[in-house]
Amino acid sequence: MPEIHYKELDRYLKKIKENQKTKGFSPVYLIYGEPLLYKNTLEVLLDALIPPNLRSFNYHAIDGENDHIEEVVERINTYSLLSGPRVVALCDSKIFYSKQNEGLLLEKAQNAYKDQNMNQAATSLLTLLGLLNLSLDDIDETHKKKIFKMGIDKPEETQWLDQTLKFCKENRLSIPSGGYKADLLQRAIEKGFPERNHLVITADMVDKRRKLFKIIKEYGLIIDCSVPKGDRRADKIAQEAVLSERMETLLSRYGKVMNKRAYQDLYALTGFDIDTFSDNLEKLIDFVGHEKVITAEDVAFLLKRTRKDAIYELTNAVADRNAERALFFLNSLLLENFHPLQILASITNQIRKLVVLKDFVESSHGSAWYPGMPYAQFADRMMAAVQSYNKEFMDRISKSNEMLSEDMNGDAKKTKKGREAKRGLPDTDLEIAVNPYPVYKLMLNTEKYTKNELIEALAHLSQADVRLKYTKQKPKTVLEEIIFRMCHTSRV
Over range 445-460, report the average pLDDT.
Answer: 92
- How many residues make up the chain in this entry? 492
More confident residue, 419 or 275: 275
Return the axis-axis angle of helices 102-114 and 155-170, rounded to nearest 10°: 90
Over range 150-165, report the average pLDDT.
Answer: 67
Model pLDDT for residues 311-353, shown as the tens digit of each residue: 878 898 899 998 888 888 888 788 777 889 989 999 999 999 9
What pLDDT score does 140 carry? 66
Rounded CA separation 132/146 (Å):
12
The structural domains of the chain, with segments of one domain joined by +, span 3-94+178-225, 101-170, 233-308, 315-488
Backbone angles phi, psi at 61, to 5 degrees: -100, 130
Rounded to the nearest angstrom, the gap between the alpha carbon of residue 341 and the centroid of all alpha carbons in its chain is 28
In terms of Cβ atoms closer than 10 Å to its own Cβ (0-12, 13-18, 19+), residue 219 is: middle
- Across 61-75, 128-142, 392-406, the highest mean pLDDT is recorded for 61-75
| Architecture category of domain 233-308 in CATH | Orthogonal Bundle (1.10)
Give per-residue burial for 231-264: e unless 16+ CB within 10 Å, then b.
Answer: eeeeeeebbeebbeebbeebbebbebebeeebbe
Strand locations in 285-380 (E): 293-294
Q: Which of 35, 80, 41, 37 is nearest to 59 (CA)?
A: 80
What pLDDT score does 408 carry? 55
Rounded CA separation 371/443 (Å):
9
More confident residue, 38 or 19: 38
Rounded CA separation 184/173 (Å):
23
Q: Using an 8 Å Cβ cutoff, are 219 and 26 in contact?
A: yes
What pLDDT score does 324 carry? 85
Assess whether pLDDT exceeds 90 at residue 252.
yes
Backbone angles phi, psi at 4, to 5 degrees: -120, 160
Rounded CA separation 114/124 (Å):
13
Rounded CA separation 49/374 (Å):
15
More confident residue, 136 or 91: 91
What pLDDT score does 244 carry? 92
Query: Predicted confidence band at 432 (pLDDT cuts at 50, 70, 90)?
Result: low
Assess whether pLDDT exceeds 90 at residue 286.
no
Q: Which of 367, 353, 347, 332 is nearest to 429 (CA)?
A: 353
Q: Which of 167, 147, 148, 166 is nearest to 157 (CA)?
A: 148
Over range 454-477, report the average pLDDT.
Answer: 92
**Residue 381 DSSP code:** I
Query: Predicted confidence band at 413 (pLDDT cuts at 50, 70, 90)?
Result: very low
> What is the Cβ-side half-sphere exposure of residue 360, based on CA atoms within 13 angstroms?
32
Lowest average pLDDT, out of 58-67, 119-128, 301-310, goes to 301-310
What pLDDT score does 491 carry? 44
Assess whether pLDDT exceeds 80 at residue 221.
yes
With residue 312 as reference, give the H or E element that holds it.
Answer: helix 311-319
Percentage of the residues of the chain whose pLDDT score is greater than 70? 83
What pLDDT score does 423 carry? 42
β-sheet bridge partners, residue 195: none
Assess whether pLDDT exceeds 50 at residue 7.
yes
Over range 202-206, report the average pLDDT.
Answer: 90
Rounded CA separation 444/378 (Å):
11
Query: Predicted confidence band at 255 (pLDDT cuts at 50, 70, 90)?
Result: very high
Fold of 315-488: Zinc Finger, Delta Prime; domain 3 (1.20.272)
Assess whether pLDDT exceeds 50 at residue 28.
yes
Over range 267-290, report the average pLDDT.
Answer: 86
Across the beta sheet with 86-91, the strand order is: 3-5, 221-225, 28-33, 197-203, 86-91, 59-63
Model pLDDT for residues 95-116, shown as the tens digit of each residue: 888 766 777 788 888 888 887 7
What pLDDT score does 227 carry? 92
Q: Which CATH number fits domain 3-94+178-225: 2.10.77.10, 3.30.230.10, 3.40.50.300, 3.40.50.720?
A: 3.40.50.300
Over range 135-159, report the average pLDDT.
Answer: 61
Over range 363-370, report the average pLDDT.
Answer: 88
Query: Predicted confidence band at 207 (pLDDT cuts at 50, 70, 90)?
Result: confident
Report the predicted TM-score, pTM, of the whole model to 2 decimal places: 0.60
Over range 125-136, report the average pLDDT.
Answer: 78
Angle 7-10-14 (CA atoms, 0-180°, nearest 5)?
150
Q: Which of 379, 314, 357 is nearest to 449 (CA)?
A: 357
User: Is the fold of 233-308 the same as that of 315-488?
Assistant: no
Instruction: Return the amino acid letter for 137.
Output: D
Lowest average pLDDT, out of 153-162, 171-180, 337-346, goes to 153-162
Over range 2-22, report the average pLDDT.
Answer: 84
Q: Is the Cα torsion angle 360, 366, 371, 373 positive or negative in sign?
A: negative
Query: Predicted confidence band at 127 (pLDDT cuts at 50, 70, 90)?
Result: confident
Rounded CA separation 74/77 (Å):
5
Rounded CA separation 62/341 (Å):
41
What pLDDT score does 304 carry? 67
Assess whether pLDDT exceeds 80 at residue 256.
yes
